Amino acid sequence: MPTMPLAPRSREAATIISRHPQAPPARMRTTGRGATQQSSAPYNRRVVLDLIRQQGAASRKDIADMVSLSPQTVANITNDLESIGLIVSRRQKVDKTRGQPPIAFELNPQAGNSIGISLEPGRASAALVNLVGEILHRSEVEMDTSDRQQMLAAMLQLVARLRRESTERLWGIGVALPGPLGHTDISFIGPTALEGWSDLSVLDELREATGLPLFHRVDSVAGALGETLFGVAKHLDDFFYLHLGLGLGGALVIGRSAFPGADGNATEIGHVPIVPGGTPCYCGNRGCLERYVSMHSLAEAVGVTDHDVWAVNLAERLQQPGDEALHRWCRQAADRLRDAVCMIENMLDPRSIVIGGSAPKVLVEHLVALAQPWHRSVRGGMSTPETRIVLSDRQDDSSILGAAVLPIYEMLSPRLEVLQQERRGDADVAELLGHRPLAKRAG
């Protein structure tokens, strides 16, 4: 049987699947500026830590120049961060220099780990992740996610398994789960949600049983924050994130924080009706975007269960011209993706749309190629092909990584709302970064 290549790509389509830029493009702010008030010391430490994370390595001079803090303040901050093990110093390698080469600071991969748990209907995936975003160990279990006790037992099993693998301190547990959350008309309804749940009290039980700090977010928000810290959005302050998994979600990132909306369910794009009178959706509407662009809709189209869709060899089947069910779904999904991109761009004018989630990367690349050319929108002529649509380079891991970064994000992200008046106490990591009060101290 002759093979059929993946959808042909225009010049634009061939370049939109981009990776981290080596240097952030012009007009893209990537570094917070330090504050001068005495009470802002935790914020300044976060700004410095965040800069070191973005740059990979930075000298004191680099830091002072980029965040507008005095050399003495930078020295105090780097001393503090190094003393508690969050950063390490190394002599920079230079070709020729007089005297000692300058010292550069890097995040310390051994400064601690976090556990990320990604929940999807029928399964839970978990990973142990270090401070620089490396996945050290992973584990997965299948279960009936509508059974509260089975779900709690499975998550405890995952945590215990990964906890044994960690030789460093644990910052906490992050849990990513499909939304929307809370008591909305469409929460916990349908096969792409945690059907049968009525609240999130099982997460409180998990926190109490493990004794670890626990953070939870909708999977799309967690994925967006993961891309912000360690992924293709590392140099982006503002972008829209599409989370393509069993369902479809979105997150609007502004100033490197996800916009929550009134009750934490903003940008639930999967349940936006996009086809008038279209396929009935489990939320009660018709023609919702998720009914056309999701792994669940793919499973329906090719006649497999949601459980088995992850085992489909898409790389092979996309090359088979006789697989009409798959190709018909891809064409329809690409059309709806094109509509969604136009809607996002015209409503929000984001610098970039980042696509991540648990869907296989070969499938996402194929859909993006098929969706060319994009509809005309306010981004046409304003953005470059390389930055308009960006695919995650952690596609298979983005859900787990997104969950795992939640405890780390609370520590690494410089946000003014975490500023606290300092009072002297022990030199604890959390205290130095503003999670608990410290005594007043310069820097």
Q: Using DSSP, state whether 302 is helix, strand or coil.
A: helix
Look at residues 195, 223, 251 and tell me which one is the last residue of a structural domain. 223
Distance CA 121, CA 114 (A): 23
State the CATH number of the domain containing residue 55: 1.10.10.10
Sorted by sequence, the CB contacts under 8 Å of residue 347 that are 6+ apart come out as: none
Q: Are residues 61 and 153 in the same domain?
A: no
Q: What is the chain's mean pLDDT, rounded?
A: 83
Q: Are residues 280 and 374 in the same domain?
A: yes
- Domain-located, residue 85: yes
CB atoms near residue 381 (< 10 Å): 7
Domain count for the chain: 3
- Domain-located, residue 26: no
Distance CA 283, CA 202 (A): 24
Q: Are residues 136 and 238 in the same domain?
A: no
Q: Are residues 240 and 366 in the same domain?
A: yes
Q: What is the pLDDT of residue 28?
A: 45
> What are residue 243's phi and psi, to 5 degrees?
-105, 105
> What are residue 125's phi and psi, to 5 degrees?
-115, 145
424 burial level (CB within 10 Å; 0-12, 13-18, 19+): exposed
Q: Are residues 189 and 52 in the same domain?
A: no
Distance CA 390, CA 432 (A): 35
Q: What percent of the chain has pLDDT over 70?
A: 82
Q: What is the pLDDT of residues 114-143, one digit of tens each?
A: 999 999 888 899 999 998 889 999 999 988
Q: Using DSSP, state whether 336 is helix, strand or coil.
A: helix
State the Cα angle at 237 between 390 and 366, rounded to 5°.
10
The enclosing H or E element of 150 equals: helix 148-165
Q: Are residues 151 and 213 in the same domain?
A: yes
Q: What is the pLDDT of residues 177-200, one digit of tens each?
A: 998 888 888 888 888 888 878 788
Q: Are residues 314 and 277 in the same domain?
A: yes
State the CATH number of the domain containing residue 319: 3.30.420.40
Q: Are residues 69 and 133 in the same domain?
A: no
Q: What is the pLDDT of residue 379?
A: 94
- Domain-located, residue 244: yes
Residue 94: is its pLDDT beyond 90? no
- Domain-located, residue 29: no
Range of the domain at 208: 113-223
- Domain-located, residue 31: no
- Residue 38 is classified by DSSP as G
Instruction: Examine residue 373 and say whether the peptide bond preceding it is cis (omega within 30 degrees of 0).
Output: yes
- Domain-located, residue 28: no
Place of tokens 């030789």: 167
